[in-house]
Chains A and B, each alone.
Chain A
């Protein structure tokens, strides 16, 4: 950006800020009220998008936190100094969000939406019960000398804070981590991102802002009762405004708030009797007209890819087994998918796991990577027991994997996909940078391309690069060579060999026997959940038991 243009933008920005700050001095009561509406919806919508934007969890619980904040102000407002009241509201919001945010662990999609709505109603009912039975009075009176001007300035300050926090969040590693979680939560966990903790943290942050907004608005209404504080319409309005403006970026929601608030005003003022009908028609029209649907509005915001974390320690070569799998079984209510599998892997070798479809190979890999918990048996990585650890913890310990159905994070760029695995790297020392890894797998020229636009083979390469970015000691490849044409196969095999030469230990699940023969020093054959043969590839592939397992007994 050139100098003069920059200066011009800065001046414009400052002028705008000055206008906003001095607004109460020149706007009449009505326009000030309008300004207040715009501001409080902006805060709510931006806070909402902070959580719901990247994670795609559409929350209707906005009014639960807003109402709690309003109620806190109503309860404490006349006895405590105002800053204490705001802090208390923030605390109540954060605490409630912490307790209820744990639901995000188990629910997704429409269930989360309805759950969040039910939550708001539950909180409202509990507040009513408390007020009726313990406090013996349902409504709270809050008389305060706060004028519209002061209210406006408080909201303006809060707006500035929410934008500041949102901006800082976006630039931090949590911003990219959030987007990774939203794009593909499984891939994100396996890249070392603690999805649960991050989701919970941002949910709490978002709820805190909502609660403080409620507290600030409470004096305006003088009388707060549960119906007034917990009005479900607010939750819906916030969702619509944020989605229309663009929940994927920081300044998106405000662009949805302003037109909609003004639209509501115009409709209220000009068509009081037909407000509902006209509003409904406009909504329907807007949704029908958007070509990609509302989800297309989520969009990909541009976040700066944070500088790479400290590089990793070199893999320690040695003779002690890197991975020790001992009697691992996994059952799914009666079906034994994996039955008493044991093997060890020494550092630097490539182990092949083969077997007919349905023999439990992927399930075994899932127990190793933490996607599933073994029903029995132990798994040790470098002596540390992995049983019970979550996927992101195992990933951080140095066990990376690719997936049978390729999992790239579609709305992130190639570079961001790799960077996501670097965010929470716990290893120190020297290692390849993201660019080097991308060059290694052959994606050097495509760093800024969105991952969803890559070809199949390139997506596989990206997945591999992301796995390598964890600086792992052990990589699990789940049918990584499947679906490749002969020349791609050759390149792929060469790449895996190169990785082994760099000191990586690999476990490959494969059906491509040429690759097994070319790369593996040792093979394990599984059938119906248990190991039926093990040894060098040549020996194993001519074992009559193995042949029978693949081709069926009678045809062998």
Chain B
């Protein structure tokens, strides 16, 4: 039925593959000599951009820092970390398979989470079933409280989308009451779950503060020309321009706004504003631009972290989730050390219940969610300072109106 060539080819391929699968049998690492930590991260595919800025460098930095200090303390010994890493190729199916592989084949002690809401949700049930603590850092969803209840081993560290929009609305409301801006807002959002959640919450929150939405539109992912959108937004004469965008569009919108000499009093773009690449591209023009995230740049611990990150990975961290990622890993380490043995359930419980000292300050989660999360940041003099929630220590005053583009 088959030509001889194909039969041979398939046989060879099949044997090779079979051999390969058996060969990747776990090395029986002596669990008392090292702590095995595994993760599947998006090294390729659409999520590689975000993962490569926020998550992977911090995983690598943390392992380096921990091993440089001798390792994680278990009882009276310090055990170094051994890493097993895979590429989930930005695919939910691959991520789930990778978790199974890490747990069953590599038999790792702890698993670090993938990047992004989609992948964290995909691996959530599996991690829950297997009992590994799940530090879902780069996962921003309004369902976070519900998920934390459903999965007692999971913790969420960036808050919900609603909190981000509400934080922004509160800040803008304060500026309005101070007479610094008017009541007209133009809002655009990317047609993805994150953009939808942010804009839906935004609509409610802005209305509550007495703002009017003069322009309110979504655009699909992969749009290469945002000028038409921007022109219509400009035509609505807004005091504040809000874009819940992803990195490529964040950059494109900023560039187009400069071209069109669009200088609203408040210019806010979404994900990516907090990335070092934004400052790198726009230099002095980035000053005054607001975005998601922010950090207390004056904190000495964060300054030291910035220097360490740059030295170890060659690039700066982002000003939103990077430091939180690192902090979550510090929490993991401290929880393991507090429990004193490799008891995953106990560690997960400790992460939820305990208080920890990290680079972002004292961390105590409430119902599995991190409470002290910065919502709005602004580039000021080359640093992305945190503005809101204004109640958190370290919040800076906003610079309004935004300086004109040069």
Tell whether any CB of A sits under 8 Å from a CB of B in the complex: yes
Name A's B-contacting residues (CB within 8 A).
28-34, 37, 125, 128-129, 131-133, 136-139, 141, 143, 217, 220-223, 225, 227-228, 231, 233, 244-246, 249, 252, 255-256, 258-260, 262-263, 265-266, 268-270, 272-273, 275-276, 286, 289-292, 296-297, 299, 301-302
The distance in angstroms between the C-alpha atoms of A245 and B1, with both chains bound, is: 12
- Residues in chain A near residue B391, CB distance under 8 A: none
Q: List the interface of chain B (C-beta within 8 A of A).
A: 1-3, 5-6, 9-10, 13-14, 16-18, 20-21, 23-24, 43-44, 46, 85-87, 89, 91-94, 96-98, 100-101, 103-105, 117-118, 121-122, 124-126, 130, 143, 150, 191-193, 195-197, 200, 218, 220-221
Q: Are B17 and A262 in contact (CB under 8 A)?
A: yes
Could you tell me if B24 and A269 are in contact, using CB atoms closer than 8 angstroms? Answer: yes
* 3 nearest A-B pairs in the assembled complex, by CB-CB distance: A262-B17, A266-B20, A223-B121
Scoring A217, A260, A266 by chain B CB atoms within 10 A of each residue's CB, the highest score goes to A266
Known: A223-B122, A227-B221. A138 touches B196 (CB 8 A): yes
Is there contact, CB below 8 Å, between A266 and B220?
Answer: no
Out of A125, A255, A265, A269, name the residue touching B10 (CB < 8 Å): A255
Nearest CB on A from B311, distance (A): 22
16 other A-B residue contacts (CB within 8 Å) besides A132-B196, A297-B6: A29-B100, A30-B103, A31-B104, A133-B218, A139-B193, A141-B121, A222-B125, A227-B46, A228-B122, A246-B6, A262-B17, A265-B20, A268-B98, A269-B86, A269-B101, A273-B87
In the complex, what's the smallest C-beta–C-beta distance from A444 to chain B, in angstroms? 27
Tell me the smallest distance from the CB of A40 to a CB of chain B, in Å: 9
Contact of A225 among B6, B130, B193 (CB under 8 A): B193
Selected from A30, A132, A246, A276, the residue in CB contact (under 8 A) with B100 is A30
Q: How far is the CB of B19 from chain A (nearest CB, A)?
A: 8
**A159 CB, min distance to chain B CBs, angstroms:** 17
Name the A residues within 8 Å of B126 (CB-CB): 29
Assess whether A132 is in contact with B191, with CB atoms less than 8 Å apart: yes
Chain A residues within an 8 Å CB radius of B105: 30, 269
A142 to B3, CA, bound (A): 45
Residue of B nearest to A276 (CB): B44
Cα of A28 to Cα of B97 in the assembled complex, Å: 12
Alpha-carbon gap, A245 to B14, bound state (A): 11
Please state if A299 and B9 are interface contacts (CB–CB under 8 Å).
Answer: no
Q: Is the Cβ of A220 less than 8 Å from the Cβ of B86? A: no
Assuming the contacts A263-B13, A266-B20, A290-B9, asked whether A227 and B103 have C-beta atoms less than 8 A apart, the reply is no
Determine whether the beta carbon of B1 is less than 8 Å from that of A268.
no
Alpha-carbon distance A109/B117, docked complex (angstroms):
40
CA distance A513 to B103 in the complex (A): 83
Q: Is B91 in contact with A233, judged by CB distance below 8 angstroms?
A: yes
In the complex, what residues of A have CB within 8 A of residue B93's CB?
37, 217, 220-221
A554 and B255 alpha carbons, distance in the complex (Å): 77
The one of A30, A128, A133, A276 that contacts B101, using a Cβ cutoff of 8 Å: A30
A-B contact pairs, 5 of them (CB 8 A): A138-B193, A222-B121, A259-B10, A268-B94, A273-B43
Q: How far is the CA of A284 from the CA of B89 in the complex (A)?
A: 21
- Bound together, the chains give a CA A262 to CA B195 distance in angstroms of 37
A225 to B130, CA, bound (A): 25
Contact of B2 among A262, A272, A299 (CB under 8 A): A299
Q: Are B17 and A266 in contact (CB under 8 A)?
A: yes
Task: Say whether chain B's binding surface is mostly helix, strand, loop, or mixed.
Answer: helix
Question: Are B200 and A136 in contact (CB-based, < 8 A)?
Answer: yes
Interface pair B121/A265, CB less than 8 Å apart = no
The answer to whether B43 and A259 touch across the interface, beta carbons within 8 angstroms, is no
Main secondary structure of the interface of A (DSSP, over half): helix
Docked Cα-Cα span, A227 to B222, in Å, equals 11
Does A33 contact B9, Cβ atoms closer than 8 Å? no
Q: Which residues in A have their C-beta under 8 angstroms from that of B94? A: 268
Q: A29 near B193 (CB under 8 angstroms)?
A: no
Residues in chain B near residue A289, CB distance under 8 A: 5, 9
Given contacts A28-B104, A220-B93, A223-B118, contact A275 B87 (CB under 8 A): yes
**Once bound together, how far apart are the Cα atoms of A348 and B13, in whole Å?**
62
Contacts of A137 in B (CB 8 A): 193, 196-197, 200
Determine if A138 and B192 form an interchain contact, defined as CB atoms under 8 angstroms apart. yes
Judge whether A272 and B86 touch: CB under 8 Å: yes
Cβ contacts under 8 Å, A301 to chain B: 1
Contact of A33 among B24, B97, B125 (CB under 8 A): B97
CB distance from A407 to the nearest CB of B (A): 26
With both chains docked as a complex, state the minimum distance between the C-beta of A219 and any C-beta of chain B, in angstroms: 9
Do B10 and A225 have beta carbons less than 8 Å apart?
no
Q: Contact between A221 and B3 (Cβ–Cβ < 8 Å)?
A: no
Complex CA distance for A455 and B176, rounded to whole angstroms: 89
Contact B91 A231 (CB under 8 A): yes
Task: Give CA–CA (A290, B13) in the complex, Å.
Answer: 14
The docked-state distance in angstroms from the alpha carbon of A170 to that of B220 is 43
Closest to B17 in A: A262
A259 and B14 contact, CB distance less than 8 A? yes
The distance from the CB of B45 to the nearest CB of chain A, in whole angstroms, is 8
Which residues of B are found within 8 Å of A286, using beta-carbon distances?
Answer: 9
Query: Given known contacts A30-B101, A129-B191, A291-B5, is B17 in contact with A263 (CB within 8 Å)?
Result: yes
Contact between chains at A272 and B87 (CB < 8 Å) = yes
- Once the chains bind, are A29 and B103 in contact (CB under 8 Å)? yes
- List A contacts of B23 (CB < 8 A): 266, 270
A266 with B24, Cβ < 8 A, contacts A33-B96, A222-B125 known: yes
A262 touching B6 by the CB < 8 A rule?
Answer: no
Query: Given the complex, which residues of B lie within 8 Å of A272, measured CB to CB?
Result: 43, 85-87
Task: Report yes or no: B9 in contact with A132, Cβ–Cβ below 8 A.
Answer: no
Question: Bound complex: CA of A32 vs CA of B96, how far in Å?
Answer: 12
Measured CA separation A139–B195 after assembly (Å)? 11
Q: Contacts A137-B196, A221-B93, A225-B118: A296 and B1 contacting too (C-beta < 8 A)? A: no
Q: In the assembled complex, which residues on chain B have CB atoms less than 8 Å from the CB atom of A32?
A: 100
Task: Name the B residues within 8 Å of A128 (CB-CB).
Answer: 191, 220-221
Say whether A143 contacts B85, CB under 8 Å: no
Task: Point out the residues of chain B lying under 8 angstroms from A217, CB to CB.
Answer: 93
Instruction: Say which residue of A132, A133, A222, A268 sits within 8 Å of B86 (CB atoms).
Output: A268
Inter-chain CA distance A266–B43, complex, in Å, is: 17
Most central of A129, A138, A273, A290 by chain B CB within 10 Å: A138
> What distance in Å separates the Cβ of A104 from its nearest Cβ neighbour in chain B?
28
Name the residue of chain A whose CB is nearest to the CB of B85. A272
How long is the Cα–Cα vector from A220 to B5 in the complex, in angstroms? 38
Residues of A within 8 A of B124 (CB): 222
Evaluate contact between A292 and B3: CB separation under 8 angstroms.
Answer: yes
Of all chain A residues, the one with the shortest Cβ separation from B24 is A269
